[in-house]
Structure 1
Amino acid sequence: MDAVVVDGAFGGPEAVRVARVPVPEPAAGQVRVKVRAAGLNPVDGAVRAGVFGGGGQRIGLGWDLAGEIDAVGAGVTGWAAGQRVIGLHYGPVKPLGTHAEYAVLDAAALAPAPATVDDTAAAVLPLSGLTAARAVELLGLEPGSTVLVTGAAGMVGGFAVQLAVRAGLVVTALAGAEDEALVRELGAVDFVPRGMRPVDAVDGVLDAAALGAAALEPVRDGGVYVGLHPGAAPAAVRGIRVVEQEVAADGAQLGRLAALVDRGELVLRVGGTYPLAAAAEAHAALARPGLRGRVVLTP
């Protein structure tokens, strides 16, 4: 089968290639999925560039997938061949990712695919949706509290805006001036152009744009900061609770997000599709400014 890999040498999009590899076999507790669509995330670009190490070995790319179950390993219950699923294949350095014709995931990492959207749209949900959902939970704010979401027009930020509103929070979105209409459609009550700060203090900030210490400035004393990049959070000041979140494969949570999609309560955005053979072109598109949806590979 074909799979997108980096073969020992890191770099830009030119480092990506499509290799012929054996079809993987599911071990006990695992499921093999025929991949119909797979999201291309910024973390894939970071893996390709060598941010997570692993030089000198073949690294498979891809975290998100949507497709149908092809085979199940020993001890797997509740899943059967032919079921449409979505899932998160966690881990930056792995021999085979989801940018492939087939992928093997732990059964617990899968959820039924939302029935109201196609595989291309469904493939943008796992990594960004799970990241945003966990970040909103970690805010720990009561309904009616105010939260600033930085990078609100991006995929994680956009999901965070929607999920925070659904949790009863009053959202101020920070994004480029050209994105005001978009983030307000997602549910933001107030808007702050990039480079500015809210007039009033907020109870918390969800820092999807990784602004770091600058994102602490509008937070009230004793508020909360949630960062999305482990090891990059700013030092706590003024009694602000600083939290870093690390995404995890969580089929149960992913199933709840898929249900929101089916109820029309969570908007999915596709920024472009590319065949697996054009993976290098897709990586180049990932780096272009102004992308307002997830690039998706279609094996």
Structure 2
Amino acid sequence: MRAIVVRRFGGPEVLESVEVPVPEPGPGQVRIRVAAAAVNPVDLATRTGILTEVGVIPPREVLGLGWDVAGGVDAVGEVGGAEIGGPGRRQPSARPAGRRPPFQVGDAVIGLRDRIATPLGAYAEQIVLDASAVALAPTGMSAVEAATLPLNALTAAQALDLAETDGTVLVTGAAGAVGGYAVSLAHARKRRVVAVASEADEALVRGFGADDFVPRGPALGDRVRALVPDGVDAALDTALLGLDALDAVRGGGEFVAFAAGAAPIPLRGIRVRNVWIRADGERLAELAGTLPPRVAGVLPLTRAAEAHERLAAAGLRGRLVLTP
């Protein structure tokens, strides 16, 4: 089968289309025939070597790309003791030995590959994932649409979990894929949301559920505090503004960073933490039924380099999706 990998770091030209053996699912795993795979900033950081430089990915001869996948189950692995639970499918009360994971061949699924140092990712014709990282695909969505959900929705949800507050939440990069979901999820939890984005995106982010809007630009803390005098209770800094966003948070508040090395100094007793995404099929099944897809465009897998160029140029609203 065909897959896109990197064997040296650099620009989009280092992406290689290679022939690799079809992976076989082990115990508690499923193999998915990929119908769509989203392109995310983390893929660019993997390709350029940034994640290896900062110690997130150890040195490897070959690295696969792609976290998000939507497609159909075409093989399931045996389990030796008990049946492995599959999010989105009702679990049996008895769990006989030797049964397969409850996903069946032909099931339409979405999933997240969070082991980023592996030689095969979602930029491929087939991929093997743990059943716990997979959920049934939301009904009424195409594979292309569904592929935009896993990484961005789970990142937003897990970041909001870290921001332990019932009060005001600042979301930077609110028009982006993660930021937009963060606004929607915070709004659903009845938080007051202050959104930061380009002035042209005000209507978009208010549509996501933002209560207040602050255009991106200098003196962010002052402009946010004009709306929330004591400062917001928590900031989800998806735009990686660092100290500028921290200045908008009240003393003793919460701050969540979204990239390695992006966490600012915890001034004024603010608790600063990174969100480190993990696959969670059960949570993904819940989110998939509540959040809309964010598709910025579709390209064949053979044009992965072009997708990376377009993402690096910025300005996308949603995710580009590759189709094998």
TM-score, L = length of structure 1: 0.94
Structure 1: runs of 5+ lacking an equivalent: 261-265
Post-superposition Cα deviations, 1:138-182, rounded to whole Å, max 9, x if no partner, equal 11112xx11110011111001100000001101010011111111
Computed over aligned residues only, the root mean square deviation of the Cα atoms, in angstroms, reads 1.2
* Secondary structure at 1:242 match in 2: strand
1:52 aligns with 2:51: yes
Contact map agreement 1:148 1:173 (CA 8 A) in 2? yes
Task: Give the equivalent residue in structure 2 for 1:275.
Answer: 300
Counting only pairs closer than 5 Å after superposition, residues 45-84 of structure 1 correspond to structure 2 as 45-53=44-52, 57-75=61-79, 76-84=100-108
1:4 aligns with 2:4: yes
Q: Which range moved further: 192-201 or 61-70?
A: 192-201
Q: Which range moved further: 56-65 or 125-134?
A: 56-65
Post-superposition Cα deviations, 1:51-74, rounded to whole Å, max 9, x if no partner, equal 123556121111100001000011
Task: Give the equivalent residue in structure 2 for 1:225.
Answer: 255
Contact map agreement 1:10 1:55 (CA 8 A) in 2? no
Amino acid of the structure 2 residue aligned with 1:270:
V
Tell me which structure has the larger Cα radius of gyration.
2
Amino acid of the structure 2 residue aligned with 1:12:
G
Post-superposition Cα deviations, 1:256-280, rounded to whole Å, max 9, x if no partner, equal 11121xxxxx222101111011111
1:255 aligns with 2:285: yes
The runs of 4+ residues in structure 1 deviating greater than 3 Å are none
Counting only pairs closer than 5 Å after superposition, residues 10-159 of structure 1 correspond to structure 2 as 10-53=9-52, 57-75=61-79, 76-142=100-166, 145-159=167-181
Structure 1 Cα separation of the partners of residues 108 and 188 of structure 2: 27
Amino acid of the structure 1 residue aligned with 2:184:
Q
Structure 2: runs of 5+ lacking an equivalent: 53-57, 80-99
Structure 1 Cα separation of the partners of residues 142 and 196 of structure 2: 30
TM-score, L = length of structure 2: 0.87
1:208 aligns with 2:238: yes
Amino acid of the structure 1 residue aligned with 2:153:
G
Structure 1 Cα separation of the partners of residues 185 and 148 of structure 2: 16
1:296 aligns with 2:321: yes
Contact map agreement 1:89 1:97 (CA 8 A) in 2? yes
Cα–Cα, structure 1 residues 56 and 30, in superposed 2: closer, same or farther, change >3 Å? closer
Amino acid of the structure 2 residue aligned with 1:132:
A
Equivalent pairs counted in the alignment come to 291
Structure 1 Cα separation of the partners of residues 157 and 59 of structure 2: 32
* Secondary structure at 1:95 match in 2: coil
